[in-house]
Every structure is written in structure tokens, then in C-alpha cells.
Structure 1
């Protein structure tokens, strides 16, 4: 296959998310392969390449971006570097898939979108839950009237105070943009926007209650989607552990865990039933397949900058407490 028929990836930042979730998906999708990886620790980059059967590794971003055999870059570094690397990659002639959240700020998101428009390259943000079968089925339930008219969205996320992410930057706002809320609940904010459209208004409140790290550990919010409202209660200094998203309708409800293997619980006048749609082994793969179709076939962008940017806008408003 030629470059016009095949996406040859370079992975910029081959950390934990690329081990199972995304890296094997980039190699396993049709018309897609990974030819090179970059990590600032060159030994770890070389080890990753060896274990995953990838031809080349480097500890320098410039080296990766200059490789002529690459026509796309997957950016899996912390959010504080997303804008810089995405813009550099597009200016180097590469299409880009960048991890979520899109960037550290809405202004950085706008700069990325401007670079996409200026260079004519393609830019996708990896809100991959959009493409997972159980999330697609939940969207069909809500939009297809199976619970009647949607009235209220209830988001609940509780974790104990001693919980810590695998990487310390995920609770450092200067690097990750916030704490657990920014790292995890951006998926929920994106999915809600994907299903219900742009919000009319957003209000929020955040606090540091336990003070165990620099980021917030309590977030509450209201999002007005016009015909219905989302209410979020997210506490990372409480017990017991709990996580769910429930859409309440005029004739039933649908509920599911977003961050754990979970069936959809569908409740109506005749009782409850569960719909079990297991996630694939490499959870990014359904989304990656849509990315490949966008890059090669001009299929619709599975998560364009204009939509991913809305998540950053919501984050900033919630954190501002307005």
C-alpha cells in the first residue's frame, strides 16, 4: 500500500494509555500501522518499540515529526503539551489524533483549530467512548424514545480521598488542567454534548476539601441543554466508591457506568432489564477505525476540534464557579 492507502503512525508519548487501550488499536485497525514511537526517556521508548514490534524509537519529538514515512501522529502526552505538539505535527504535514482533553485551555484549542485550517491537515480528538458499542446503544435508547422524552441527566462520581491516578500529573492542574474531574469526566461532558448538542448554559462549583494534591476534589455542575438539564456531583474525597450516568425520561430511565465495564440498565413501567455490550479488548479501536476512514476516505470527523473545544469551555466555566 502507498501512503495514500495506509496510515503510518508515529506515537508521540508512548505511556500507559498506549500499552493496551490505543497502541494495539492503531496497529490492529485495517489500513493502519505504527512505524515509530517517541518518549523523552529513550530507553523506555526503545523498550516499548521492542515489546510491540515497532521498527523505530526516539527520545526527540523533532526526530519523530521529521520522519517521511509517517503521515499521521498520535499525541498521547499530558494535556499541557497537546497544543504545541499538534501544531508542530500539522505544520510538518501530518494528520493528528490527540488525546483528550484537547488542550490545557480553550485558547490553546483555538490555536490548534487555526493550525488545522491553515495547513489543511486533519485533526481529531480522542474522545473514543463515542464509538464504543454500549455508548452507541445508550445514545440510540435516548434519541430513539425508548425512555420517552429525556428530562434529566444525573452524573455521579465518588472516589475515596486516598485514591491516586497512575501518573501524578493527572492531579496537577498546571499539567493536566485539573484533577480526576478533568482527566475522567471530560469523557462524560463530551458524550453529553455529542448526544444532546451544545449547551445553552453551564454553571459549576469546585473545591479542595481534603487538600491531598493541588487539584480540586469536589465538583458540582448544572448544564442546560434546553429541553433537559444535566446535574453532576463528583467528589474525590468520599466513600463509598460510586460512578454512573443516568438519563431520566418521561417514561423510563437508562443508566450505565462510564469508567468501568457496565451493562446498560433500562427501567420502565414493566420493570428493569440489562443490556450487556462488552467493550473490545483495545477500547480505542472502534474510534480509531473512524479516524482512519476520516483520514483516508474523507468520512466525517469522529470528534472535530469544534466539538472537543466545547468540553474545555465547559471545564473552564465549571472551574471558574460561575
Structure 2
């Protein structure tokens, strides 16, 4: 295959962003071959923007069976991601999905099984994995520079959103339309990075989600969660869309010191001797390990971001390049968000892996209650 022919499902804001990247020539080896959307208006705008060299379809099925594409980029609302991916695999297509992987892990697990059975290249748009800051953090942890991880703490409250933002669409911030709030809409990248950089496996979680706090919405917009890991470490995750000014501070503490990422900088308070070794040898009741404060050099900028993931997916299809963000890994961050909601709804600890059937049933209850509001705000 000399050229990778891509079809885009959903030509809203992100779909248009990706289409522009491909048609600009920024993605080597890729061609925008087709676009599908249920909106005739959006298809008309796309036709004016990209011309007749692109095929246009009113349904994903029509585009998938057209013979015009080799792979599909899914940029539709959250609930559709697994369904369209499974459909695409059945038609022998490669798949790249926008984040999040879906709304509930039960559906995403089915998508992952379909991907494995298909043998096709499956990726997810976790573009923050290309951010040099988080790549460096993962490198330091993976190499053992930080020692054994003992604590993580991420406060990410710089997602401020006004009521007018939520009023932009009747589907927004509803269980029926989005399936969640800050955890499913704003935080999928942080939830992925939390798992991807620390290499830790959660054991159980206890969360407190506030629904519609300071905003007239159905879903969670303020969350505080406490997680325990298999290795005995603990973690805290705090997020909000109603706090200003917000904070974005990620701390990872280990037996060899602590790394802090904040305000675009990374600092490493490195212990000359591991805490365990120091503690075993120290006879001073008030002694403390020698610590060196180091500013970690990180390349400027945020990396190639979305274009980098799109190029990587294309390269994986054309020449077997390893994926930066395999689609199957989308379930990890989603399970964290599902667990936080389930813990709140049941007012108890939630073990990993979560009870997927119970989460699904709890979500369906809220979707049914969501219907009257959906009609009222149209």
C-alpha cells in the first residue's frame, strides 16, 4: 500500500481539524479519501472546503462499504466510538478513534476484542503521550531514577467552563448525550497519562463526585478520588470545571525523591540515597536524606500532538511502525473514570477491575432520568 486512504466519521470541530491536517500535506503517506456525517449541512460545508476529490456519505456504513478507504478516523460523539470501530473492523478497516475510547468499559472491551480478532491497526488519539514533559516523566520512572513509586497526586482544576459553555448544545453535560462530565469530556488525557507515566496498576478507589456543582448540569464537574495501587502506593486525583484560577500540578513521589510538573516545568527533588536505605542506617531521630533539587531539561513545546498520532497511525499501517497510543489502552483511563462514578453512586470502595455490568446498569438509570431534560432544553 503506497498511500493510506483515510475516511473521517464525524466532521465537526475535531473531524475538520484532522481533515485539514491531512489535506494540508502534513501527514506523509495519507490521503483524505472520504467523509461521512449525518448532517447534510456539515457535509455541504466540507464539500466546499475540500472539493470533489473527496467522497461524501450520509452514513458510516455507506462510507465503510464504498471501497474508497483503507482506514477510518472516528471523530463522532463519545457513545459512537466503540460501535463504529467494531463496525469498521468487520469491514476490514484500520481504525483511529478520538478520545475517550467510549463511555463505559463493557462496550470498550467488546471493541478491543473486535480489534484483536481483526488484525487491523487500532489507535486512539492520546496526543499528550507525545508531550515531551510526560515522555520524560515516564522515562525517569521506567529507568528507576525515582525508585519505587509511593504516592501520586494530580490536581487538575484548570478546566474552567461557564454555564454558557454547557448551554451550547442540548446533549452537553447530560447522561444521555455525553455519558459524563469532566471525567469523560475534559480529563481523558490526564487519566491516561496518570496510568501511562507511572506504570502502576490500581487496586481499589474511593471517590466523591459532585454533580452540577455551581452549574445547572446533570453530570459530574468536581471530583476528588483516592486510589490504592497493587505495590502499596497511594494516589489522589482532583479535578473541577468550576474553579478559577485553576491548578495543574502533578506530583509523583518515590523512594528516591519526588518529581513535580507544574507551569510547564519539571523539577526533581532527588535523594542521594534511597529513603529505605537511609532509614535503615540513620541513628538521628530527626535526620533526613540529602536531597538535590534539579530542574529537568525538557524540549520546548508540546510535541507534534494530534498530527503526531495521526502520522504514527499512518506509519503503522504503511510500514509497521510501533503505535504510540494503541487503541486497546483506551480502556485504562476509562476504567478509572467509571470507577470514580461507581464509587460515588454506590458510596463505597470500588475494586479493579470494576464490575462492568453494575456500572452499565447504574449509567442506564441516569440516562433514563436524563431524557426529560434533553427534551426540555431543545
**Band the TM-score falls in, shorter-chain normalisation:** 0.7 to 0.9
Matched, 1:221 2:225: yes
CA separation of 1:291 and 1:160: change in aligned 2, threshold 3 A? closer
Q: Which residue of 1 aligns with 2:54?
A: 55
Q: Which residue of 2 aligns with 1:286?
A: 308
Secondary structure at the aligned position of 1:79 is classed as: coil
Secondary structure at the aligned position of 1:200 is classed as: strand
For residue 318 of structure 2, the aligned residue among 270, 288, 296 is 296
Written as runs of structure 1 = structure 2, the 5 A alignment for 1:265-276 is: 265-268=266-269, 269-271=291-293, 273=295, 275-276=298-299
CA separation of 1:267 and 1:304: change in aligned 2, threshold 3 A? closer
Written as runs of structure 1 = structure 2, the 5 A alignment for 1:1-322 is: 4-20=1-17, 22-27=18-23, 28-52=26-50, 55-147=54-146, 149-158=148-157, 159-160=159-160, 162=162, 164=165, 168=169, 169-195=171-197, 196-208=199-211, 209-227=213-231, 228-256=233-261, 263-268=264-269, 269-271=291-293, 273=295, 275-280=298-303, 283-321=305-343, 322=349
Unaligned runs of 5+ in 1: none
1:161-187 alpha-carbon deviations (Å, 9 max, x no partner): 626369644522323221122112221
Q: Separation in 1 of the partners of 2:175 and 2:63?
A: 28
Kindly name which structure, 1 or 2, has the bigger radius of gyration based on alpha carbons. Answer: 2
Counterpart contact for 2:207–2:224, Cα < 8 Å: yes
Q: Separation in 1 of the partners of 2:48 and 2:133?
A: 34
Please give the TM-score of this superposition, normalised by the length of structure 2: 0.74
CA separation of 1:202 and 1:299: change in aligned 2, threshold 3 A? farther
Q: Separation in 2 of the partners of 1:166 and 1:155?
A: 29
Secondary structure at the aligned position of 1:217 is classed as: strand
Counterpart contact for 1:147–1:251, Cα < 8 Å: yes
Please give the TM-score of this superposition, normalised by the length of structure 1: 0.85
Q: Separation in 2 of the partners of 1:161 and 1:95?
A: 35
Counterpart contact for 2:38–2:59, Cα < 8 Å: yes
Counterpart contact for 2:122–2:328, Cα < 8 Å: no
Counterpart contact for 1:25–1:284, Cα < 8 Å: no
Q: Separation in 2 of the partners of 1:225 and 1:314?
A: 12
Secondary structure at the aligned position of 1:173 is classed as: coil
Runs of 4+ in 1 over 6 A off after TM superposition: none
Unaligned runs of 5+ in 2: 270-290, 344-348, 350-378
CA separation of 1:153 and 1:25: change in aligned 2, threshold 3 A? farther
